[in-house]
Amino acid sequence: MDPAIRALFAPEPGMTYLDSATYGLPPAPTLAVMRGALDAWAAGTANWTEDWDRAGERARAAFAALIGVDPGRVALIPAVSAGVGVISAGLTPSDDVVVPADEFTSVLFPLLVARERGVPVREVEHDRLVDAITPGTTLVACSLVQMQTGRTAPVRAIVDRAVEVGARVLLDATQGTPFVPLGDLVDRIDYLVLAAYKHVLCPRGVAFLALRPDHVGRLAPILANWRAADQPYGRYFGGPLTLAPDAAQYDVSLAWLPWLGAATSLELMVHWGAAGALAEPMQLARRLAEGLGLAWGGSTLVSVPIDDADAARAALAGARIRAAFRGTGIRLSPHVYNDAADIDRAIEALAGVVGPVQPPRAGAS
């Protein structure tokens, strides 16, 4: 990894941080701009629109560049569930929704709320998702990368099948972007949501909803507010309803400091991507999986099966490695602040605690 990039991060000395799938570490410029905002807040000297709120537009532009879409397709929201909730609110009993039964709850729960009011929602095995998209299906929802396994969804097969039956696709790219490229598929996905505090290194409270252009205006802007207006800094009182002509009509009023930091982090991510620096974390993840005798899932998340959780915790603590326990395994997730030595340290620490590896089931990807 580029030493200049690694120098922007300051994990605790002697600790190997491999837990970006829980939260990413902030680069120094992000911390600096947020500390400056705190000082201006304390002093009462900030101009809230110019110094803070307009940072959301920088974040919108940078995120759009990161995933390869026009900024007019991107809405600024506080969490994935807010975006999924807007989509879910428009579902009716005539819809047919399919979602993995073990989907992350911020995607699953808004859909189950819709089921409470009569919307048919089918929960299926993750490996059977493509087969479950049948004539009459109107929406399929899933994560790009499973947070508990690190497996990458067969997005192209999902999108192709959805097009065949006339269904829409809702994709949570939180655990995939920016490392798992969508390429041309990004223009075929109806709704893409992402929580930015993990792999794109933003403060918590920052998320995005990217819509295919034909859905802008068709999806009801049920969270309409002053910032979703066509001139958000020009009018704060009274009607009529005048919303932004693009995806900004789905914006939610911003928490200023997180979005200020987000703009800086995202601009750095775009720069690093253009320089080719975002390829190495995927290589490190593959090295980690193969070093532990595991099948690589195609993302930066590596899930290590374990038999003895206490022994695994002791091994990680002894090596001063930060990771996450999810389900019946340990989830590790390298980023730009990691290098090959970090991965070799993790392999050495965990080699003795890896449990039986389950063979992939038919249809897995």
Is the pLDDT reported for residue 356 higher than 80?
A: no
Bridging pattern class, strands 207-211 and 168-172: unpaired
Which amino acid, one-letter code, is at 147?
A: M
> Looking at the structure, do residues 178 and 291 belong to the same domain, yes or no?
no
Is the residue at 61 inside a domain? Answer: yes
Host H or E run for residue 304: strand 302-305
Per-residue pLDDT tens for 298-308?
999 999 998 88
Selection from 347, 341, 335, 350 nearest residue 20 by Cα: 335
Host H or E run for residue 171: strand 168-172
CB atoms within 10 A of CB 57: 14
Q: Using the CB atoms, write b or e for 110-129: b if 16+ within 10 Å.
A: bbebbbeeebbbebbebbeb
Q: Give helix 105-116 / helix 80-89 axis angle, nearest 10°.
A: 30
Per-residue pLDDT tens for 252-288?
999 999 999 999 999 999 999 999 999 999 999 999 9
- Residue 199 near residue 265, CB atoms below 8 Å: no
Rounded CA Rg of the chain? 21
> Looking at the structure, do residues 160 and 12 belong to the same domain, yes or no?
no
Which amino acid, one-letter code, is at 75?
A: A
> Looking at the structure, do residues 300 and 159 belong to the same domain, yes or no?
no
Per-residue pLDDT tens for 338-352?
999 999 999 999 998
> Looking at the structure, do residues 107 and 254 belong to the same domain, yes or no?
yes
Bridging pattern class, strands 329-332 and 324-326: antiparallel
Is the residue at 361 inside a domain? Answer: no
Alpha-carbon gap, residue 217 to 214, rounded angstroms? 8
Per-residue pLDDT tens for 82-99?
999 999 999 999 999 999
Is the residue at 158 inside a domain? Answer: yes
> Looking at the structure, do residues 235 and 285 belong to the same domain, yes or no?
no
Alpha-carbon gap, residue 32 to 55, rounded angstroms? 15
Is the pLDDT reported for residue 362 higher than 60?
A: no
Host H or E run for residue 210: strand 207-211
> Looking at the structure, do residues 228 and 310 belong to the same domain, yes or no?
no
Is the pLDDT reported for residue 364 higher than 90?
A: no
Supply the DSSP symbol for 319. H
> Looking at the structure, do residues 100 and 233 belong to the same domain, yes or no?
yes
Alpha-carbon gap, residue 48 to 259, rounded angstroms? 12
Residue 353 banded pLDDT, cuts 50, 70, 90: confident
Q: What percent of the chain clears pLDDT 70, i.e. is strictly above it?
A: 97
Is the residue at 355 inside a domain? Answer: no
pLDDT for the residue numbered 1:
67
Tell me the whole-structure pTM to 2 decimals. Answer: 0.95
> Looking at the structure, do residues 136 and 205 belong to the same domain, yes or no?
yes
Bridging pattern class, strands 207-211 and 321-322: unpaired
Please report, for the domain that includes residue 332, its CATH number. 3.90.1150.10
Alpha-carbon gap, residue 354 to 286, rounded angstroms? 16
Average pLDDT over all residues of the chain? 94
Is the residue at 243 inside a domain? Answer: yes
Q: Which of 224, 243, 272 is the last residue of a domain?
A: 272
Is the pLDDT reported for residue 118 higher than 60?
A: yes
Is the pLDDT reported for residue 358 higher than 70?
A: no
C-alpha of 348 from chain center = 30
pLDDT for the residue numbered 363:
34
Q: Which of 256, 272, 288 is the last residue of a domain?
A: 272
Alpha-carbon gap, residue 357 to 295, rounded angstroms? 9
pLDDT for the residue numbered 326:
76
Alpha-carbon gap, residue 123 to 292, rounded angstroms? 32
| Domain assignment of residue 188, given as a range | 32-272
Per-residue pLDDT tens for 157-212?
999 999 999 999 999 999 999 999 999 999 999 999 999 999 999 999 999 999 99
Domains held by the chain: number = 2
Over residues 151-157, mean pLDDT: 96
Is the pLDDT reported for residue 325 higher than 90?
A: no
Is the residue at 356 inside a domain? Answer: no
Q: What percent of the chain clears pLDDT 90, i.e. is strictly above it?
A: 91
Per-residue pLDDT tens for 30-61?
999 999 999 999 999 999 999 999 999 999 99
Residue 365 banded pLDDT, cuts 50, 70, 90: very low
Is the residue at 45 inside a domain? Answer: yes
Please report, for the domain that includes residue 173, its CATH number. 3.40.640.10
> Looking at the structure, do residues 265 and 338 belong to the same domain, yes or no?
no
Q: Which of 204, 239, 272 is the last residue of a domain?
A: 272
> Looking at the structure, do residues 319 and 218 belong to the same domain, yes or no?
no
Alpha helices (runs of H) in 275-308, residue ranges in sequence order: 280-291
> Looking at the structure, do residues 62 and 184 belong to the same domain, yes or no?
yes
Alpha-carbon gap, residue 140 to 169, rounded angstroms? 5
Is the pLDDT reported for residue 309 higher than 90?
A: no
Is the residue at 359 inside a domain? Answer: no
> Looking at the structure, do residues 179 and 233 belong to the same domain, yes or no?
yes
